[in-house]
C-alpha cells in the first residue's frame, strides 16, 4: 500500500465509442435509459457459429479523425483508440503544443489486440500465399499499437505501453497511469482501453470454452448479469479514453475536473487460468487495497460497477468478494453491471465502465442491470434491476477481473472546484 501518494490525480477529459453510442453523452443517455446495444453480428459470417450476436459498434467512420492512408495501416482496435484519445484530449481542453510533450504519457490496454488482422492474414496466406501478406500485418496486430498510434497522433513523448491482462487490461491502464503521475513521472496521461474482437476466430474460440451466451433468438435479452437464468457473456467492442492529470497541473491551466481517481488496487488469484479464486478472496483484496489507497471506509462507497459478465461462476464469486469487503452493508449497497447493455468489451471494459461510473457520480443517476428477471439466491445484491435509480453519491468503485486471475478495483471520488485543493495534494 502506498502511504505517501504524492500527486493527486484528476480526470479532466473523457471520450467513448461503444455498442450503445458514440461519445460520452450518447453512451450515457443509453446506459442510464437501460438501452441494449446487442444485435445480430454483421461484421462476419456467423451461420455456422453457436453465437450469432454481439455488441457491435455501428456507424463509426475512422476517417473523421484519422488520415485515410493511416486508417488502412491500423487494425480496428487502433481506430477506436485514436478516435477516443483525440476526443478525450479535446474534452479536456488540452492543446498539445502548450504542454511539455515529454511529460505526456499514453497507456492503452487491450486483451485481443488486432485479432481481425490476424484472422484476415491467416486467410490471405491460405488462399493467396505468403507473398500477398501486407507489410503492415505485424504492426497492425500488435497489442501495443493502439498506444503507439495514439502517441503518434498526439505527439506524446512520455512513457508509452499497453497492459494486456485480459478483461482487466484497461483498468490496469488507468491504475498505472495514476501511479505514473503520483511518482512525478508524468504531468498528463492519456489512458484507457480498446477492443475490436468481433471476428469469427474470437467468437468460435469463446464458444469452444462454453463462455458465450447462445440466446440467438433474443440478442437484447442475452446479457443478464446476476440473473438465475444467465447462460454466458455477450462479446462487445469499442473503446474509452480518459485524460488524467496531476491536481497541480490541472489547476495551473484552469481545467474542469470531472472526478478524482483516488484509489487503485491490483491483485492476482494465482488459482486457475479462467476460474476466480474460491471465496472471491483475490477480488476482495483488490477492493480492500483500493479503499486503503483512497483513504476511504467501505461505507463511504455509494455505488459499485461490478465486473458482472453474465456468467454463473464469475458472479457468484464476485458476490462473495463484495460480501467480504462490505459485510453487513452489502444488501443496501447499489451494485449494477452495465455489461447487460454494452456486452463485455474485454480489455476495454474497465475504461468504459470507469467513464460510466464517473457519469453516475456526476449526474446522481445509478445505471441499471437490465434483463434481470429471476433473482439468483447466490447473488443476493441490490443490482438496480432494470431501471436507473436517482441517488447522489460521492464515491464509486469499478471492478474488473480477467482470465489469468487478474483483479483490479478503481475508486473515483467527487471533486469540486480546483480552487479548493484537497489536503495533502501536490
Helix, strand, coil share of the chain (percent; to 5): 40, 20, 40
Residues 6 or more apart whose Cβ sits within 8 Å of residue 148: 142, 160
Catalytic residue among 172, 249, 344, 406: 344
Rounded Cα gap, residues 37 and 56, in angstroms: 7
For the question of residue 344 being annotated catalytic, the response is: yes
Q: Is 379 a catalytic residue?
A: no
Q: Rounded to a whole number, what is the distance in angstroms from the first to the last CA of the chain?
A: 19
Catalytic residue among 7, 22, 249, 307: 307
Query: From the candidates 167, 172, 249, 379, which is the catalytic residue?
Result: 167
Q: Give every CB contact of residue 97 below 8 A, 6+ residues apart in sequence.
A: none
Compute the C-alpha angle 231/322/423, nearest 5°.
135
Specify the 3-state DSSP secondary structure of 108. Answer: strand
Q: Does residue 167 carry a catalytic annotation?
A: yes
> Locate cell 487460468: which residue?
273
- Tell me the DSSP string of 344-365: B-GGGHHHHHHHHHHHHHHHTE
Say how far apart CA 137 and CA 130 lie, in whole Å: 11
**Sole residue written with cell 446495444:** 37
Which phi and psi (to 5°) does residue 166 adopt? 55, -130
**225 near 304, Cβ under 8 Å?**
no
Q: DSSP secondary structure string, 164-223?
A: --GGGHHHHHHHHHHHHHHTTS-SEEEEEEEE---SHHHHHHHHHHT-B---TT-GGGS-
Sign for the CA dihedral angle at 247, 251, 253, 255 comes to: positive
DSSP 97: G
CB atoms within 10 A of CB 394: 14
| Residue 393 to residues 117, 304, 361, 406, 412, Cα–Cα distance (Å) | 43, 11, 6, 28, 11
Task: Return the residue matching grid coordinates 489507497.
Answer: 293
**Burial class for 25, CB neighbours closer than 10 Å (0-12, 13-18, 19+):** exposed
Catalytic residues: 167, 307, 344
Amino acid at each position: 500500500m502506498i502511504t505517501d501518494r504524492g500527486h493527486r490525480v484528476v480526470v479532466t477529459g473523457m471520450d467513448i465509442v461503444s455498442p450503445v453510442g458514440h461519445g460520452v453523452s450518447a453512451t450515457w443517455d443509453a446506459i442510464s435509459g437501460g438501452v441494449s446495444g446487442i444485435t445480430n453480428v454483421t461484421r462476419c459470417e456467423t451461420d455456422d457459429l453457436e453465437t450469432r450476436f454481439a455488441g457491435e459498434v455501428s456507424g463509426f467512420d475512422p476517417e473523421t479523425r484519422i488520415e485515410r492512408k493511416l486508417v488502412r495501416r491500423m487494425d480496428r482496435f487502433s481506430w477506436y483508440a485514436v478516435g477516443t484519445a483525440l476526443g478525450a484530449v479535446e474534452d479536456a481542453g488540452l492543446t498539445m503544443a502548450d504542454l511539455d510533450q515529454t511529460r505526456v504519457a499514453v497507456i492503452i490496454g487491450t486483451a485481443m489486440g488486432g485479432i481481425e488482422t490476424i484472422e484476415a492474414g491467416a486467410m490471405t496466406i491460405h488462399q493467396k500465399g505468403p507473398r500477398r501478406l501486407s507489410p503492415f500485418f505485424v504492426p497492425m496486430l500488435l497489442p501495443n499499437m493502439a498506444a503507439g498510434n495514439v502517441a503518434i497522433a498526439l505527439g506524446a513523448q512520455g512513457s508509452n505501453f499497453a497492459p494486456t491482462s485480459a478483461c482487466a487490461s484497461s483498468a490496469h491502464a488507468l491504475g498505472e497511469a495514476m501511479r505514473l503521475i503520483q511518482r512525478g513521472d508524468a504531468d498528463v496521461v492519456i489512458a484507457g482501453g480498446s477492443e475490436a474482437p468481433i471476428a469469427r476466430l474470437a467468437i468460435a474460440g469463446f464458444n469452444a470454452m462454453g463462455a458465450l451466451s447462445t440466446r440467438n433468438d433474443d440478442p437484447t435479452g442475452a446479457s443478464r448479469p446476476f440473473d438465475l437464468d444467465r447462460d454466458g457473456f455477450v462479446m462487445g467492442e469499442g473503446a474509452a479514453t480518459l485524460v488524467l492529470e496531476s491536481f497541480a497541473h490541472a489547476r495551473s491551466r484552469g481545467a474542469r475536473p470531472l472526478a478524482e481517481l483516488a484509489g487503485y488496487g491490483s491483485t492476482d488469484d494465482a488459482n486457475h487460468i479462467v476460474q476466480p479464486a474460491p471465496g472471491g478472496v483475490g477480488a476482495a483484496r483488490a477492493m480492500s487495497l483500493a479503499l486503503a489507497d483512497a483513504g476511504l471506509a467501505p461505507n463511504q462507497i455509494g455505488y459499485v460497477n461490478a465486473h458482472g459478465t453474465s456468467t454463473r461462476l464469475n458472479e457468484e464469486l464476485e458476490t462473495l468478494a463484495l460480501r467480504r469487503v462490505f459485510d453487513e452493508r452489502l444488501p443496501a449497497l447499489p451494485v449494477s453491471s452495465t455489461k447487460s447493455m454494452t456486452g463485455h468489451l474485454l480489455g476495454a471494459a474497465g475504461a468504459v465502465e470507469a467513464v460510466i461510473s464517473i457519469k453516475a457520480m456526476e449526474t446522481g443517476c445509478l445505471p441499471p442491470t437490465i434483463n434481470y428477471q429471476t433473482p439468483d439466491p447466490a447473488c443476493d445484491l441490490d443490482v438496480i434491476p432494470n431501471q436507473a435509480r436517482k441517488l447522489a453519491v460521492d464515491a464509486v468503485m469499478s471492478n474488473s477481473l480477467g482470465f489469468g486471475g487478474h483483479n483490479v478495483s478503481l475508486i473515483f471520488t467527487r471533486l469540486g472546484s480546483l480552487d479548493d485543493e484537497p489536503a495533502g495534494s501536490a
